[in-house]
Structure 1
Amino acid sequence: MCMKSIQAPNAVVMIRPHHFCPNPQTAADNSFQSVDQTRSAQEIAIRARDEVTTAASMLEAAGVKVRVFDDFSENETPDSVFPNNWFSTHAGGHIALYPMYSPNRRRERRTDVIDMLKSQYRVQDVIDYSGLEYDGIFLEGTGAMVLDHIDRVAYTARSNRANPVALERFCTHFNFEPMAFHSTDMHGRPVYHTNVIMCIATEFALVALDMIPDALRRDEMVHRLQQTGREVIALTEAQINEFGGNALELNTKAPEQTTRVLAMSARAAASLLPEQRAIIEKSAQILPIAIPTIELAGGSVRCMLAGIHLSARN
């Protein structure tokens, strides 16, 4: 048993798509996307919808509050299953809305999600950065940034989806220190989102250290994470290709004490080494969720979960 952590939310928003497909507008810079030619588009869409339903049920059974919204749009919002990119919530009653790189991803923003948060949680303000899209400035939420809510650091892999101007504005408004770094795959291509190579939990962090070429920056990141008492688990690029870094720690609901779970895909969990699992399981139970269809879009479980760091209304 462990006390509740400010790093790990106990509630999430999920979007259940009814016409899911990998996004053609993001394929050029998302090397994690893939194509399934063995199933029809309808079969893929139905399976993705069912994977979200099952994932939500598994999280609820583990003690996480899940608020599911359905997306019935056809071909307009292929990546809607990944809501963590267009909004985030923060302790003290704050919400951020983000500028999205791909034009069809900008249509994912929806007022009913924000209205639910305002009605069910204590919200003081909504800071909307989406207007930066008109200036070609993008910052795709907690995909582009991996936030350390304890040490107040926003770890950000440089890419066309993480503009330094937007990052600086966010950090100023939300009291984070920006920690930007270069990250590349084996072909030298920038990693499109930070949260595929990095996960920060309460007592540990998963990081693809070999994919950060700047040794000084890499050492600085490890030092900062270790200063908070976390164990740094180095992931290989092979594990990253299995979405091993795309995970989110969650609190389970309990009046005073709680256990924590680390939500990740079954594929990602299978990539972990025994010694890595041992470190994680000292403070969080691994919750493997099978989402092979959704992973065709180049994201995994963490991308599907928009954490709610707000105080619930009575």
Structure 2
Amino acid sequence: MRDFLTNRVLMVRPIAFTYNEETGADNLYQKNDNQDRKILEEKAEKEFDTLVEKLRSESIEVLVIQDSLTPHTPDSIFPNNWFSTHEDNKVVLYPMYAENRRLERTDKIFDFVKDKNQIEKIDFTKYENEGKFLEGTGSMCLDRKNKIAYANISKRTDKELFEKFCEKLGYKGISFSGSQTVNGVKAPIYHTNVMLTIGEEYVIIYLSAIEDEKEREIVKNSFINSGKKIIEISGEQTKNFLGNAIELRKKDGSKILVMSKTAYDSLDDEQKNIIEESAKIVYSDIPTIENYGGGSARCMIAEFFLD
């Protein structure tokens, strides 16, 4: 029987992590106080290593790629945006909004594959030339079991490309438009995975971000019809990266939900209880990565379904 949660993930250890000005234009989660770059690098590396250690202690197999100094890729720590892996040894490569993020693509992800000839590559990167973008499992949240993909449309998530992905991979696509206010600025939510986490038995979602009532009901009913409990979170909890979590399968068959300490601290007791009925919550403190990178635990983890 196929498992739609993975026990194996890929992560990229940073070597030159810093604030990325190219992505800061529409990522309202990023902050920049011009802290010494060397200090940022050291803090990010320590936070990364601690999260890897925690995952491995929960019997999750973590495949680690060490980033290189050249080319300079300040956001390489978030590999889930440029590729995703799927059953039947499929790999999807995605068009990226920021030019310096396109440099993150590397064939090193295939170093962990037994037979590279068995890999089917689905490459959407050519759409960068048309100014169309779809940033992997940042742009889309996948219910792999029910073959439903959810996407908040933004300039990083092109609706046409989202539909092409769904057609190619056999997903039913549900798209919507969500926005939020951060530091007094209202803007489209740039990545779906900051407002939505899909677990096997529940979803965590900033549902009120979807302002159109019809769209909101479609999303809500899709979750209900999929048999999932809906854990609604607030805009403030979303700012604290509670929507940016990922459920994984331990070797003994039990589940863990991985999130940051910032996210964990924002949970209320009722939300925590619903999650813990299904999965153990594992959290790690990654404030440097969150503040300067604008992404959290889920962004750091790329599910690895290749043989």
Which TM bucket (shorter chain)? Answer: over 0.9
Q: Name the aligned partner's letter for residue 191 of structure 2.
A: H
| Aligned counterpart in structure 2 of residue 32 of structure 1, from 26, 29, 37 | 29
Q: Name the aligned partner's letter for residue 286 of structure 1.
A: I
Aligned to 1:98: 94
Aligned to 2:214: 216
Cα deviation, residue 200, structure 1: 0.3
Aligned to 2:83: 87
Q: Are the equivalent residues in 2 in contact too, given 1:10–1:253 (CA < 8 A)? A: yes
Q: Name the aligned partner's letter for residue 8 of structure 1.
A: L
1:7-86 equivalences under 5 Å are 7-37=4-34, 39-73=35-69, 76-86=72-82
Cα deviation, residue 135, structure 1: 1.2
Change (3 A) 1:148 1:121: farther
Aligned to 1:175: 170
**Unaligned 5+ runs, structure 1:** none
1:192-211 equivalences under 5 Å are 192-211=190-209
SS of the residue aligned with 2:224? helix
| Aligned counterpart in structure 2 of residue 273 of structure 1, from 253, 268, 273 | 268
Q: Name the aligned partner's letter for residue 194 of structure 2.
A: V
Structure 2: how far apart are the matches of 1:123 and 1:154?
Answer: 25
1:100-179 equivalences under 5 Å are 100-113=96-109, 115-119=110-114, 123-179=118-174
Q: Are the equivalent residues in 1 in contact too, given 2:16–2:72 (CA < 8 A)? A: no
Q: Are the equivalent residues in 1 in contact too, given 2:97–2:156 (CA < 8 A)? A: yes
**Unaligned 5+ runs, structure 2:** none
SS of the residue aligned with 2:220? helix
Change (3 A) 1:226 1:173: same
SS of the residue aligned with 1:92? helix
SS of the residue aligned with 2:114? helix
Supply the RMSD in Å over aligned alpha carbons: 1.6
Structure 2: how far apart are the matches of 1:204 and 1:171?
Answer: 22
Q: Name the aligned partner's letter for residue 100 of structure 2.
A: N
Structure 1: how far apart are the matches of 2:30 and 2:256?
Answer: 27
Q: Are the equivalent residues in 2 in contact too, given 1:86–1:100 (CA < 8 A)? A: yes
Q: Are the equivalent residues in 2 in contact too, given 1:204–1:232 (CA < 8 A)? A: yes
Q: Name the aligned partner's letter for residue 303 of structure 1.
A: C
Cα deviation, residue 72, structure 1: 2.3
Cα deviation, residue 309, structure 1: 2.4
Aligned to 2:250: 252
Aligned to 1:295: 290
Deviations 1:209-239 (A, max 9, x none): 1111011111111111111211000000000
Cα deviation, residue 74, structure 1: 5.4
Q: Name the aligned partner's letter for residue 219 of structure 2.
A: M
SS of the residue aligned with 1:19? coil
